[in-house]
Structure 1
Amino acid sequence: MAEITAAMVKTLREKTDAPMMECKKALTEAEGDLARAEEILRVKLGSKASKAASRVTAEGLVGISIQSDGKTGAIVEVNCETDFVAKNEDFINFVQSIADLVATQNPADVATLSELAMGDGTVESTRTALVGKIGENIAVRRFKRLASEHGLSSYVHGGKIGVLVDIKGGDEVGKDVAMHIAASKPRAIDEQGVPDADKEAERSVARQKAAESGKPAEIVEKMVEGSVQKFLKEVALLSQPFVKNDKQSVAQMLKEKGASVQAFELFVVGEGIEKKVTDFAAEVAATAAGNA
């Protein structure tokens, strides 16, 4: 039996917002497996257990660059330690420069990007100098570059959520779609594009919930498939209700406009990053006790 520590309970509670005792029970049942414990809580508590998991914890900015032809662009995420630095002009300029470089130079990965020329040195030397000047760690986390036959549109919300869309149909509908994606956060254009891992995770949770109903196996399987189909409609862009008119789906809106989405990229600052939370009062108290 794996030892369930207070730190493990705290981590699960921060990810799920579930009561502490429920977190401990789930970890015990999962024999210390955090991912399995989170799944158990989702089965028991439903959507409550997934609310905190989507919260953004790291700081930084999303930057977007679209070239003058309107058909080549890039979206990047650059992280820092505090929101204060994310508002620093030097940091903002650095993020935009990174986006411009990705759009024009098309580096293969972050390591290759780091070696590209920037200013009097490279991206890496510029980053290092900025760390020294600002006094916080800065990291280029990820980027995507899109090349479109039709045109690119974008939307950035508060520097924290960024969307780049390859769309046929014009910039006006493109901006509407980009704003919708930022608000509704689809995982794919259509249901077929939803990653298999996401489908299987949802199927696993649905099967456990359905099994608790005590219904016959064939009914349980229908309940499971019904839950999975509902999930796919919720996370596929085309089947989502359009944010500016929820009486029609995104697919219906696009058809009405004679438009179609070819691809999109959605970045949310800090998504999936665990941020260390410092209890300064406890830290001071511990230091004082150590000096006593």
Structure 2
Amino acid sequence: MSATIPATLVRELRERTGVGLMECKTALAEADGDLERATTILREKGLASASKKMGRTASDGLVVSYIHGGGKIGVLLELNCETDFVARTDEFMSLARDIAMQVAAANPSYIRREEVPAEVLEKERGILIAQVESSGKPAKIIEQIVQGRLEKFFSDVCLQEQPFIKAPEVKVGDRIKEVIAKVGENVVIRRFCRYQLGERVECQA
């Protein structure tokens, strides 16, 4: 089937995904020439490959700044990758700016859920249990409801769990995986600091 794939379709898929010509041709053959299916195939393969790269050391990267609201909110963000070459690509620089904008808009308290202190988590769980119990829900589903609300808590306070501002259907962490798949290196949010006029500054690292 691959020999019958038009070169124009292969080029269009490459422009859309940034993946090499041979990989695009193979994906289109697998998808019987369906551009959308081929895009999905490449995305799934890329995310699987990205997951393998996420354990690698990332010590290069950029520090970016973002000012919002006429100088009322400012963000400094350090985004790391493995090499200076990738740090200077449009894909990486765009991601760094987008995440800094995300911090300004969504005001996360932590980078990832593993960083939420145990005492904060237990306090939140206790509040949620009390809320659910007071609503008269059956005891057997209380824990299930509480767990679901904890997931919402994580999506509110953890940067990587938040809906990505430019594509709310994906999380920030998923957007990072997409970039890892494209640039071929691990990408890590190292730390950020959000300043809001008149408020106490708290930085996350």
What residue number does 1:208 align with?
A: 130
TM-score by length of 1: 0.39
> Whole-Å Cα distance in 1 between the matches of residues 154 and 146 of structure 2?
12
- Does the 8 Å contact 1:153/1:175 carry over to 2? yes
**Are 2:80 and 1:152 aligned?**
no
* Identity of matched residues, %: 37
Q: Which of the residues 169, 188, 191 maps onto 2:110?
A: 188
**Alignment root-mean-square deviation, CA:** 2.3
Question: Residues 32-68 of structure 1: CA distance to partner in whole angstroms, max 9, x if unpaired?
Answer: xxxxxxxxxxxxxxxxxxxxxxxxxxxxxxxxxxxxx
What residue number does 1:288 align with?
A: none
> Whole-Å Cα distance in 1 between the matches of residues 198 and 164 of structure 2?
26
What residue number does 1:164 align with?
A: 76
Q: Which of the residues 191, 195, 198 maps onto 1:263?
A: 191
- Does the 8 Å contact 1:154/1:174 carry over to 2? no
> Following superposition, which runs of at least 4 residues in structure 1 exceed 3 angstroms of deviation?
195-198, 215-218
CA-CA distance at 1:272 after TM superposition: 6.2
What residue number does 2:24 align with?
A: none
Give matches, 1:48-197, under 5 Å: 149-157=60-68, 158-168=70-80, 169=87, 170-197=92-119
> Whole-Å Cα distance in 2 between the matches of residues 236 and 249 of structure 1?
10
Q: What amino acid is the match of 2:105?
A: A
Counting helix residues as a fraction of each chain, which structure ranks higher?
2
> Whole-Å Cα distance in 2 between the matches of residues 216 and 203 of structure 1?
17
Question: Residues 54-108 of structure 1: CA distance to partner in whole angstroms, max 9, x if unpaired?
Answer: xxxxxxxxxxxxxxxxxxxxxxxxxxxxxxxxxxxxxxxxxxxxxxxxxxxxxxx
What residue number does 1:221 align with?
A: 143
SS at 1:179 equivalent = helix
SS at 1:264 equivalent = strand
Gapped runs of 5+ residues in structure 2? 1-58, 81-86, 181-186
Question: Residues 138-189 of structure 1: CA distance to partner in whole angstroms, max 9, x if unpaired?
Answer: xxxxxxxxxx742201112132222111102443321111001111111111
**CA 1:247–1:201: 2 relative to 1, 3 Å:** same
Question: Residues 248-292 of structure 1: CA distance to partner in whole angstroms, max 9, x if unpaired?
Answer: 22112212222331221222233369xxxxxxxxxxxxxxxxxxx
**CA 1:248–1:221: 2 relative to 1, 3 Å:** closer
CA-CA distance at 1:192 after TM superposition: 1.0
TM-score by length of 2: 0.54
- Does the 8 Å contact 1:206/1:227 carry over to 2? yes
- Does the 8 Å contact 1:188/1:194 carry over to 2? yes
- Does the 8 Å contact 2:128/2:149 carry over to 1? yes
What residue number does 2:48 align with?
A: none
- Mean Cα displacement is larger for which, 196-205 or 161-170? 196-205
- Does the 8 Å contact 2:155/2:163 carry over to 1? no
> Whole-Å Cα distance in 1 between the matches of residues 118 and 198 of structure 2?
24
Q: Greater relative contact order: 1 or 2 (C-alpha under 8 angstroms, separation 6 or more)?
A: 2
Gapped runs of 5+ residues in structure 1? 1-147, 274-292
> Whole-Å Cα distance in 1 between the matches of residues 150 and 170 of structure 2?
22
> Whole-Å Cα distance in 1 between the matches of residues 132 and 105 of structure 2?
30
> Whole-Å Cα distance in 2 between the matches of residues 220 and 234 of structure 1?
21
CA-CA distance at 1:206 after TM superposition: 0.8
Question: Residues 177-217 of structure 1: CA distance to partner in whole angstroms, max 9, x if unpaired?
Answer: 10011111111111111233432332222111111122343
